[in-house]
Chain A
Amino acid sequence: MDREQLALLKEVMALDFKALELQLYLDTHPNDQRALRDHNLACQEAKAAKENYQRCYGPFMPCEATGFPWQWISDPWPWEICYE
């Protein structure tokens, strides 16, 4: 996996993590407007980052329309990636 692909992958992971953190916070603070706004923004950004990644490198999840040939098996698996 080249540096550019790894950077896009990390961006997706980081934005998903931010959205998850704010989701957990909102479970106990449902009336926090700032957290809600930041959560919604993080979700949008994560979605855009995923679409950006998928355009170049294939699907994140198997249930995505892919190009030919079947792309799901062309990525390295998560445990094969060097994240450093």
Chain B
Amino acid sequence: MYEVSQNLRLARAYVPFQIYNQSWEPLEGLMRGTIFPELYFPYRKREY
């Protein structure tokens, strides 16, 4: 079963438009892989 949320239609791809209003300092961005906090989604280590 799927959940219908936020009135989004199925089988449609959505890319919300990014708005630049904050950024990390250059070195912090380099270490995190992006200077945009809104694009920071690190993978978590997981045991298999």
- The chain A residues found within 8 Å of chain B, CB to CB, are 10-11, 13-15, 17-18, 21-22, 25, 28-29, 32, 34-35, 38, 42
Query: Which A-B residue pairs are the 5 nearest by beta carbons?
Result: A14-B26, A14-B27, A18-B26, A14-B30, A21-B35
* Residue of A13, A14, A35, A42 touching B20 (CB-CB under 8 A): A35
Bound Cα distance from A34 to B27, whole angstroms:
20
- The chain B residues found within 8 Å of chain A, CB to CB, are 18, 20-21, 23, 25-27, 29-30, 34-36
Chain A residues touching B, majority SS? helix
- Whether the pair A38, B23 counts as a contact (CB closer than 8 A) is yes
Bound Cα distance from A52 to B29, whole angstroms:
22
- Whether the pair A10, B20 counts as a contact (CB closer than 8 A) is no
Residue pairs across A and B with Cβ atoms less than 8 A apart, 13 shown, are A10-B27, A10-B30, A11-B26, A13-B30, A14-B25, A14-B30, A18-B26, A21-B29, A25-B18, A25-B20, A29-B20, A34-B20, A38-B23
